[in-house]
A and B are shown apart, each in its own frame.
Chain A
Amino acid sequence: MRDPSRTLSEPLLALQGVTKRFGALIALSDASIDIMPGEVHCILGENGAGKSTLCNLIFGVHVPDEGTMRFHGESYRPMGPSDALRSGIAMVHQHFSLVHDMTVVENVILGQQNGFVNTRAWAQRLDRLADDYGFALDPYAKIEDLSVGERQRVEIVKCLIREPRLFLLDEPTAVLLPDEIAALLDVCRRVAQSGCAVVLVTHKLAEIKKAADRVTVLRGGRVVARSDHPAEEIDALVRAMIQGDVKSLDKTAASALGVVETGGDHAGRTTPAQTPPKEAVQIDGLSVIDVQGVTRLDNFTLSIGPGEIVGVAGVEGNGQSELAAVLSGMGAPSRGRVFLRDLETTHLSPKEITAAGIGVVPEDRHTVGCVVEMSVAENMFLNRLEAFTSFGFLRRRELLQAARELMTRFDVRAVSAEVAFSALSGGNQQKAVLAREITLPKLLFLLAAQPTRGLDVGAVAAVYGHIRSACQSGAAVLLISSELDELIAVADRVVVLYRGRIMGTCAADPSERERIGGMMAGQAQ
């Protein structure tokens, strides 16, 4: 398995036959990976392939059950993240850990130094670091005033200021604007050029094309492929990742993932009804002003026809969450009204909204979409348990039966319908939520917020398929997503939200990509 051409130089980090089990689950099995100094090494894989486990083993969060790790030629057995940091391994996590009302430099100092602090000296170090890697960062800006991309830069700086020899990034691009992604990949390259090894965990192939020197593909906890020339071997890597052929991959999903360039081919897309009948959903001047008096959503007006998919583009935090909350009955608007056909739903409770035929796939699966401690079956019918009730008693057998049928139909893979929802992978959880919402007795309107976040290729394709089938059966669909490619691939038209306002509306066409990107960044058209 070892690549002979690489034996010339010593690997910085060498994993040899590393295995990690969690109970019966083998998260990582006999993985051998060499990370060379000065390279950007991408770890590619679907959710549940073992990417995060790998990171956690390297960063000392977990201890391997079998196998050895060598760092700089010496045996490396970290018992915790502090060991890893001491050895010169730094990690940027998917979720930020920043103190919001402190400044950038204060956040950087946290955890690095005790006793007296010379803030000015640290700020100068930050400036120098920013110069070296070519990005701008004001050391005295407060975190809460920064964009998501800038906050991530702070996380990166927190790592780089330690001058690590190995730099781990776990799915760093999920929350970034297209421009910011490009900038991040550029920083990765520069860090690698300075001799440090960069390990970039991702499931986006476009990033591999742009940044990776080498790629290791994980599937089901095993190393299934490696490549020293990833840009030329993308198809083979995808095949290894999903154990199938790129050609068989849903076209829309493929273009949304960046496997193939989004072309003019929109075969997968449904055409809207020829003569649009009266609007299914009418959103009229919706505004949300939060308790601090900040306008989160400003005069949002939109109508969606039956069978139409309207995308809402925008960087996260520009009013999407508030819009989704109002539409799903989880929050009241300060102004404005929402109509579903002739029914005003503005102030209906979630229960009434469900009864009216509005399905909601919430942005935050774990806090809004499901109760992870309860069983799969219970979750799949959480909003209509009454259907399985006689005299208050739950007809559990029927519930299980119905759940099993739905699981088969929507390809939700679980050991059984009775296991805890938390035992499902992210993709299966999302398919289960989608199944529950799409199979509402009369679905008129489907609201899907970030429905493919964190999902693997196969699951993404399935989610698109289900959204499209809902739309074909006549439901209006509002798809909120921060992935521009996804919107272009799936939606009929796109409205762009910036600071709570609609910046503009475009056809969901690849030729509009730059215009949409500009509007996402706040450029008026």
Chain B
Amino acid sequence: MSAALNMTRSLRGAVRPSVMISVAAVLAAAMVGVALIFAMGVPVVDAVGAFVDGTIGTPYAIAASINRSIAFALVGIGFVVANRANLVNVGGEGQIAVGGIAATAVALYGHVAGLPAGLPFLIPLIAATIAGMLWGSIAGVLKIKAGTNEVISTLLLSFIAVWLVYWCVQSPQLLRKPMTSSATLPESLEIPDSTQLPLLTGDYSFPVHIGLPVTLVIAIIAAIVLSKTVFGLQLRAVGFNPIAASRAGISYSRMVLISLAAAGGLGGLAGGFMLLGEQYVLKDGFSSGYGFDGLVAGLLARGSVVGVIAAALLFGFLRSGGINMEMVAGVPTALVMVIQGLIVVTLAGASFFMGRRA
């Protein structure tokens, strides 16, 4: 019975109605959002106007949304990769954090600012990626050696990493900028100009950085590796049935370690992009929950890299609009989180009921 059911379920998954359902879920959630705004007594027209302004109102708004989406997409792709091995990486937030720390440290104190041709920002980016990979690998090693559930370990490692950022920006021995007065903020120095990411257009009114093409290339590579290579196949085998895979000579440990390191590395890179491309200064809480948004993007995409990009863009623009809505129309930005949550619940519910009707 269950085999037949599963078949129907996967058949349904393959058909495109799933796209329609996603769109419907987004629209339904948006309508609930509008209703909530109305209930709060804020003129809906003002709020929606502010929302639209914040998302696509100006070139700057569009660019900010895209930059945000880049971080979501990288974390989401990492989630999809690890998920092929049936691993759930919820540690994007921590991986972003360690990536940010590493990027800042190397950019500020790595003597890279004077290097030629791109190296000043490439080296910090690589450092960020490696830091994220190491952070992800910790969860991998724990899983292999002690059987620790990666959901627990990556989540807890995130808390550690977030507090590491706090420690770094609070300690003058670490990354806090030199204390000139008691009013010196707990944050790092601004990274040198040469280590800041070049903008695609070179125009500060549309500040999309080179993270966009890099992320698209990474997405393409990830999609190809997952679908066309033996590695992708082995990852799937391990994800479906680790015992049979290991009997067939596929090393479970290797697959777990590689996939969690890859997911972590992408998170670290996202942190590097955020620091070198937008924020330029390391501050407490700089990762602002992007790791969790990226995780949701990965979840919603149901294993599809293209789906991750779409979800990342959606959330990136939602967030930008929400921020503007709060500033201009006084609607709390938490409303956007409500809408985001509604989308997730609606989609999950829809797929559940589709499965049941089979």
B233 close to A330 (CB less than 8 A): no
The answer to the question of B240 belonging to the interface, with a C-beta cut-off of 8 Å to chain A, is yes
Q: Which chain B residues border A110 with CB–CB below 8 Å?
A: none
A383 close to B241 (CB less than 8 A): no
B240 close to A371 (CB less than 8 A): yes
Stretch touching chain B among A121-129, A385-393, A489-497: A385-393
The answer to the question of B171 belonging to the interface, with a C-beta cut-off of 8 Å to chain A, is no
Point out the residue from B8, B243, B244 that lies within 8 Å of A23, measured CB to CB.
B8
B240 close to A362 (CB less than 8 A): no
The answer to the question of A360 belonging to the interface, with a C-beta cut-off of 8 Å to chain B, is yes
B229 close to A351 (CB less than 8 A): no
- Residues of A contacting B: mostly: mixed
A374 close to B1 (CB less than 8 A): no
B230 close to A371 (CB less than 8 A): no
Point out the residue from A329, A349, A384, A394 that lies within 8 Å of B233, measured CB to CB.
A394
Q: Which chain B residues border A370 with CB–CB below 8 Å?
A: 241, 244
B8 close to A371 (CB less than 8 A): no
Q: Given that A371-B237, A382-B237, A393-B230 are contacting pairs, would A351 and B244 also be in contact in the complex, using a CB cutoff of 8 Å?
A: no
Point out the residue from A22, A329, A355, A393 that lies within 8 Å of B228, measured CB to CB.
A393
B237 close to A394 (CB less than 8 A): no
Q: How many residues of A contact B (CB 8 A)?
A: 38
Q: Which chain A residues border B244 with CB–CB below 8 Å?
A: 367-371, 382
Whole-angstrom distance from the CB of A384 to the nearest CB of chain B? 8
Whole-angstrom distance from the CB of A382 to the nearest CB of chain B? 4
Which of B7, B230, B236, B250 neighbours the largest number of chain A CB atoms within 10 Å of its CB?
Answer: B230
Q: Which chain A residues border B3 with CB–CB below 8 Å?
A: 422-423
Q: Which chain A residues border B240 with CB–CB below 8 Å?
A: 371-374
Contacts of A404-459 to chain B: CB distance below 8 A: 420, 422-423
Taken together as a complex, chains A and B put the C-alpha atoms of A367 and B8 apart, in Å, by: 23
A362 close to B247 (CB less than 8 A): yes
Taken together as a complex, chains A and B put the C-alpha atoms of A242 and B233 apart, in Å, by: 38
The answer to the question of B320 belonging to the interface, with a C-beta cut-off of 8 Å to chain A, is no
Nearest opposing residue in chain A for B232, CB measure: A394
Taken together as a complex, chains A and B put the C-alpha atoms of A429 and B246 apart, in Å, by: 19
Contacts of A315-362 to chain B: CB distance below 8 A: 328-330, 349-351, 354-355, 360, 362
Give the size range of B's interface with the partner: 20 to 34
B247 close to A369 (CB less than 8 A): yes
Q: Which chain B residues border A423 with CB–CB below 8 Å?
A: 3, 7
The answer to the question of A378 belonging to the interface, with a C-beta cut-off of 8 Å to chain B, is yes
A386 close to B4 (CB less than 8 A): no
Whole-angstrom distance from the CB of B246 to the nearest CB of chain A? 6
Point out the residue from A25, A360, A373, A384 that lies within 8 Å of B247, measured CB to CB.
A360
Taken together as a complex, chains A and B put the C-alpha atoms of A81 and B1 apart, in Å, by: 14
Q: Which chain A residues border B231 with CB–CB below 8 Å?
A: 392
Point out the residue from A56, A372, A384 that lies within 8 Å of B241, measured CB to CB.
A372
The answer to the question of A61 belonging to the interface, with a C-beta cut-off of 8 Å to chain B, is yes
Taken together as a complex, chains A and B put the C-alpha atoms of A374 and B3 apart, in Å, by: 13
Taken together as a complex, chains A and B put the C-alpha atoms of A62 and B2 apart, in Å, by: 11
Q: Which chain B residues border A383 with CB–CB below 8 Å?
A: 247-249
Nearest opposing residue in chain B for A387, CB measure: B230
Taken together as a complex, chains A and B put the C-alpha atoms of A368 and B242 apart, in Å, by: 9
Chain A, residues 58-70, CB within 8 Å of chain B (1/0): the string is 0001100000000
Whole-angstrom distance from the CB of B5 to the nearest CB of chain A? 9
Q: Which chain B residues border A393 with CB–CB below 8 Å?
A: 228-230
B247 close to A389 (CB less than 8 A): no
Taken together as a complex, chains A and B put the C-alpha atoms of A25 and B228 apart, in Å, by: 31
A350 close to B248 (CB less than 8 A): yes
Q: Which chain A residues border B229 with CB–CB below 8 Å?
A: 392-394
Point out the residue from B233, B246, B251 that lies within 8 Å of A378, measured CB to CB.
B233
Q: Given that A350-B248, A354-B249, A392-B230 are contacting pairs, would A56 and B1 also be in contact in the complex, using a CB cutoff of 8 Å?
A: yes
Q: Given that A392-B230, A394-B230 are contacting pairs, would A374 and B243 also be in contact in the complex, using a CB cutoff of 8 Å?
A: no
Q: Which chain B residues border A371 with CB–CB below 8 Å?
A: 236-237, 240-241, 244-245
B237 close to A374 (CB less than 8 A): yes
The answer to the question of B58 belonging to the interface, with a C-beta cut-off of 8 Å to chain A, is no
Taken together as a complex, chains A and B put the C-alpha atoms of A386 and B231 apart, in Å, by: 10
Whole-angstrom distance from the CB of A361 to the nearest CB of chain B? 11
Nearest opposing residue in chain B for A56, CB measure: B1
Nearest opposing residue in chain A for B3, CB measure: A422
Taken together as a complex, chains A and B put the C-alpha atoms of A138 and B146 apart, in Å, by: 41
Whole-angstrom distance from the CB of B196 to the nearest CB of chain A? 35
The answer to the question of B6 belonging to the interface, with a C-beta cut-off of 8 Å to chain A, is yes
The answer to the question of B234 belonging to the interface, with a C-beta cut-off of 8 Å to chain A, is yes
A61 close to B7 (CB less than 8 A): no
Whole-angstrom distance from the CB of A296 to the nearest CB of chain B? 18
B7 close to A382 (CB less than 8 A): no
Nearest opposing residue in chain B for A394, CB measure: B230
Nearest opposing residue in chain B for A385, CB measure: B230
Q: Which chain B residues border A382 with CB–CB below 8 Å?
A: 237, 244-245, 248, 250
A351 close to B249 (CB less than 8 A): yes
Taken together as a complex, chains A and B put the C-alpha atoms of A354 and B8 apart, in Å, by: 36
Whole-angstrom distance from the CB of B81 to the nearest CB of chain A? 15
Whole-angstrom distance from the CB of B257 to the nearest CB of chain A? 16
Whole-angstrom distance from the CB of B262 to the nearest CB of chain A? 15
Point out the residue from B4, B233, B243 that lies within 8 Å of A22, measured CB to CB.
B4
Chain A, residues 139-162, CB within 8 Å of chain B (1/0): the string is 000000000000000000000000
Taken together as a complex, chains A and B put the C-alpha atoms of A384 and B236 apart, in Å, by: 15
A394 close to B228 (CB less than 8 A): yes
B234 close to A385 (CB less than 8 A): yes
Which 4 residue pairs are nearest across A and B when measured between Cβ atoms? A351-B249, A22-B4, A382-B248, A383-B248
Extra inter-chain contacts (8) besides given A367-B243, A369-B247, CB under 8 Å:
A328-B247, A351-B250, A355-B249, A369-B244, A371-B237, A374-B240, A388-B230, A394-B229
Residues of B at under 8 Å CB distance from A? Answer: 1, 3-4, 6-8, 228-231, 233-234, 236-237, 240-241, 243-251
Question: Can you name 27 A-B residue pairings with CB atoms under 8 Å?
Answer: A22-B1, A61-B1, A329-B247, A330-B246, A350-B248, A362-B247, A367-B241, A367-B244, A371-B244, A372-B240, A373-B240, A373-B241, A374-B233, A374-B240, A382-B237, A382-B244, A382-B250, A383-B248, A386-B230, A388-B230, A392-B231, A393-B228, A393-B230, A394-B233, A420-B7, A422-B6, A423-B7
